[in-house]
């Protein structure tokens, strides 16, 4: 029981941290919404009511996540007397929450070859997850100005999302460098984004799964936009979901 009390205390501590960061503007309403759908004007809502609504959404999402990923497994463990695995799972869930609640370092931008950056992060992703990645891009360097490690962090989150919703099937990544902006397409072989998912993909804690955080895409958006990129979600003509990252060519 003492372990469970500690886990719950840690969970609410992380929640307090998350809400405090949002109140300070590190993850506020400006980060919410998809570039594929224009934000609708809401003349009857002032800034205070929007912040309150955002905080309420965070609380509801946090409650759902803690219930599914922490409380329910622990309750089952108490019933069966087997607590080791539920406790380990609860700790992992809280670690994920703490990671997503942490601030996002920006890094120092430098001139990089986008193809090399993508190849490095896709290799890392495949080695860590076992999910294969098929890459298609130009044979010549594609120069961009980004903080390479931070940019890879954002791409890794997008790869993880594609791998999960694609059921572990091959994730397809391509680079279109003929025009400006340069586009990176990350596609999966799953069922694709619903209309609601396209509208809400970047809203913190919005997810179609009860035991998921719903913070992977919002965090990826924050990281990549701080690198000067734009991000949008949609569906591929051949089926499956797709995330498109757009980067301006350096001068």
The pTM is what? Answer: 0.69
Domains and CATH numbers, the chain: 2-101 (no CATH), 110-247 (3.30.565.10)
Q: Summarize pLDDT for 87-102 with one digit per residue, the tens.
A: 887 887 777 677 666 6
Q: Is the pLDDT of residue 237 over 50?
A: yes
Q: Summarize pLDDT for 203-216 with one digit per residue, the tens.
A: 877 777 765 677 78
Amino acid 23: pLDDT? 45
Give me the chain's average pLDDT, please. Answer: 79
- Give, rounded to a whole angstrom, the gap between the first and last alpha carbons of the chain: 60
**49 or 165: which leads in pLDDT:** 165
Amino acid 22: pLDDT? 45
Q: Summarize pLDDT for 177-225 with one digit per residue, the tens.
A: 998 999 999 999 999 999 998 988 888 777 777 656 777 899 899 999 9
Q: Are 34 and 202 in contact (CB under 8 A)?
A: yes
Amino acid 104: pLDDT? 65
């Amino acid at each position: 029981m003492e372990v469970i009390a500690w886990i719950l205390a840690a969970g609410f501590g992380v929640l307090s941290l998350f809400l405090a960061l949002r109140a300070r503007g590190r993850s506020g309403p400006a980060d919410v919404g998809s570039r594929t759908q224009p934000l609708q004007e809401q003349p009857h809502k002032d800034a205070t009511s929007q912040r309150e609504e955002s905080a309420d959404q965070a609380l509801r999402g946090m409650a759902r996540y803690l219930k599914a990923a922490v409380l329910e497994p622990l309750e089952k463990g108490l019933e069966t007397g087997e607590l080791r695995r539920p406790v380990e799972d609860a700790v992992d869930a809280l670690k994920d929450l703490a990671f997503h609640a942490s601030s996002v370092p920006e890094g120092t931008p430098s001139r990089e070859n986008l193809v090399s950056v993508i190849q490095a992060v896709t290799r890392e992703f495949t080695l860590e997850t076992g999910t294969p990645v098929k890459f298609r891009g130009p044979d010549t360097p594609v120069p961009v100005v980004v903080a390479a490690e931070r940019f890879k962090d954002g791409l890794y989150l997008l790869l993880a999302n594609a791998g999960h919703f694609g059921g572990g099937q091959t994730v397809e990544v391509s680079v279109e460098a003929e025009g400006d902006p340069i586009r990176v397409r990350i596609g999966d072989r799953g069922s694709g984004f619903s209309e609601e998912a396209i509208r809400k993909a970047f809203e913190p804690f919005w997810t179609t799964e009860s035991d998921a955080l719903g913070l992977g895409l919002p965090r990826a958006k924050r990281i990549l936009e701080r690198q000067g990129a734009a991000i949008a979600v949609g569906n591929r003509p051949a089926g499956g979901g797709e995330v498109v990252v757009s980067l301006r060519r350096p001068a």
